[in-house]
A and B are shown apart, each in its own frame.
Chain A
Amino acid sequence: MSLDDLYMEIILDHYRNPRNRSGELEGHDVHVHHSNPLCGDELDLRVRLRDGQIDGLAYDGDGCSISMASASVMSEVVIGRKVADAEDLAEAFRLMMHGEGVGRQEDLGDGVVFEGVAKFPVRVKCALLGWMALKDALNTHSEGGQAHSVTHE
């Protein structure tokens, strides 16, 4: 287990050059705020949905490189996907972070590099933050909600 497992070049790249990072998203349908009080990570996620598909997504936040890079990767791989498909990917990512193998390797794209983070138990929740927010946003929307705030234990 080395530092390079945790901070793969791809992770550092997403950290330095975040994709879809913005505090605004035109015409968004749902906005969720997730925080991890233990480490102080904060994430805002906005999603626009059209015809059962993720049409636009933007996140912004304050957190460690792992949480911010993971959100960046998540944004890249889920935009354009059907809601059910994105939910399934989120579950595949969660299983991977819990050491239960890498399903949907192709679709997870840069997301697979976070497998190394699973070796650093205290950082797993950082990698999951963006994906949990995504699941919550989709769930909130399906229940007719527009905003939701979650504080993780």
Chain B
Amino acid sequence: MFDVATVRKDFPVLEREVHGRPLVYLDSAATSQTPQQVIDACTRIHAEHNSNVHRGVHALAEEATEAYEAARAAIARFVGVDASGVVFTKNTSEAFNLVAHSYARRRLGPGDILLATQMEHHSNIVPWQLVAPEAGFELRYVPVTAEGYLDREAFDAIVATGRVKLLAVTAMSNVLGTLNPVAELAGAVRAANEDAIVVVDGAQSVPHVGTDLAALNADLLCFSGHKMLGPSGIGVLAGHWDLLESMPPFLGGGEMILDVTLEGSRFKQAPYKFEAGTPPYVEAIGLGEAVAYLERLGMTNVRAHEVELLERALPALRGVEGVSVHGPSDPAQRGAAVSFSVEGLHPHDLGTVMDREGVAVRAGHHCAKPLMRALGASATTRASFYVYNTLDEVDALVDAIEATQRFFRP
């Protein structure tokens, strides 16, 4: 197990104060903080090796390209794919848009079902909605039970049609924290239709639980650097090279071509055919460093640390009068994103007053409006934990909620 106090020293922002109070950062599910090692890796590129990648024959171009490709290889290992199966995107959302345009729009059609779930982030809903009318496939959603699990009966019924050609599911809900049994769901979908593919939203899971694409029984995996100690502006679509190679390019431009004539172009192979233009190479290298940092901590330890925080947080939150916690009550079934509602208090009031106590939480719909509707809430407050959070910060969260209740009490 790692020492949290030592980990905290790597994160400069954790030393700052907010409104005169020490910062208690509980919004890592939105964006995580950045360790000095990642900041240094990005600075080093700018200071010593800055150059366009895959262009030019000079020393700096070679160094930058080497660092960029080393990052790709490290990230690939981290999720259990070959380096050739890692496409750099801007974020999770862009990765989903890529799959929507280069796969769903072309390979699904009338009669096919694209099956998502009611607990998906908008970025695993809207891209499908954009291409569905033109492609003619049907977009269906697995409902969510009151305890925050996917409704398996409803799932089975839809899968039994044999028409599900693409399953798009999150490995971990950013609102409920639910860890979905992706491999099981994938197995069921494949058993009913051998042509089906499985696309996983790993934006919340990859940062927090050890991930292996084969163990997930998935074909494609989307995630974002900024939620896993990396910089913003970099995301990943990871998958099997064969599948990626079978897909046409998404964005066109420089870098992704073999030859261009005025009549047409020939493209590089995957993953490069999906990386049009100068990529965010500094950010990619930063993400490579973030992955190295997480590997040093060990993903099993990361998960164990978060379970420990959950074991303190869940009962403590439930113990506060008027507080209800959304999502699974068993820490083993959930990740460290905890949404809750406080009777009589609007999340924005809660978020504002807690901020004054130095406690940063997220208030709102968390880009999951269909799920909010299912929960019957227009908004919730969410506290989310990561490697640098402490048990004391869990207590600070609970204290801040109680302070807010006192503030608004008539």
Contact = CB atoms under 8 A, between A and B. Distances in A.
Nearest to B345: A65
B364 A40 contact: yes
Interface string B392-410: 0000000000000001101
Contacts of A12: 408
B356 interface: yes
Interface in B314-355: 346-349, 352-353
Q: Is the interface of B mostly helix, strand, loop or mixed?
A: helix
B322 to A, nearest CB: 15
B378 interface: yes
Given A12-B408, A40-B365, A40-B378, A63 B346 contact: yes
A40 B372 contact: yes
A123 B378 CA distance: 17
B222 interface: no
Nearest to B377: A40
A129 to B, nearest CB: 12
B346 A65 contact: yes
A152 B268 CA distance: 45
Given A63-B346, A64-B349, A40 B408 contact: no
B383 interface: no
B378 A120 contact: no
A152 B364 CA distance: 15
A39 B407 contact: no
Scoring B349, B356, B372, B407 by chain A CB atoms within 10 A of each residue's CB, the highest score goes to B349
Contact of B379 (A6, A7, A17, A40): A40
Interface in B363-382: 363-365, 369, 372, 377-379
A12 B410 CA distance: 8
B365 A65 contact: no
Contact of B353 (A3, A41, A62): A3
Contacts of B372: 40
Contacts of B349: 7, 64-66
A64 B348 contact: yes
A66 B408 CA distance: 12
Given A15-B408, A16-B410, A62 B364 contact: no
A61 B348 CA distance: 15
B352 A6 contact: yes
Scoring A3, A6, A12, A38 by chain B CB atoms within 10 A of each residue's CB, the highest score goes to A3
A62 B379 CA distance: 11
Contact of A120 (B347, B352, B369, B377): B352
B212 to A, nearest CB: 37
A87 interface: no
Nearest to A17: B410
A3 B410 CA distance: 17
Nearest to A120: B352
B356 A39 contact: no
Contacts of A64: 346-349
Interface string A38-53: 1111100000000000
Contacts of B353: 3, 7
A7 B408 CA distance: 9
Nearest to B350: A64
Contacts of B410: 16-17
A123 B408 contact: no
A126 interface: yes
A38 B364 contact: yes
Nearest to B364: A39
A125 B245 CA distance: 48
A150 to B, nearest CB: 16
A3 to B, nearest CB: 5
A39 B348 contact: yes
Contacts of A39: 348, 363-364, 379
A97 to B, nearest CB: 16
B408 A65 contact: yes
B380 to A, nearest CB: 9
A5 to B, nearest CB: 11
A16 B345 CA distance: 11
B344 to A, nearest CB: 10
| Nearest 5 A/B pairs, CB to CB | A40-B378, A64-B346, A40-B379, A64-B348, A16-B410
17 contacts: A3-B353, A7-B407, A12-B408, A16-B410, A39-B348, A40-B347, A40-B364, A40-B365, A40-B372, A40-B378, A42-B378, A64-B348, A65-B346, A65-B349, A66-B348, A120-B352, A123-B348
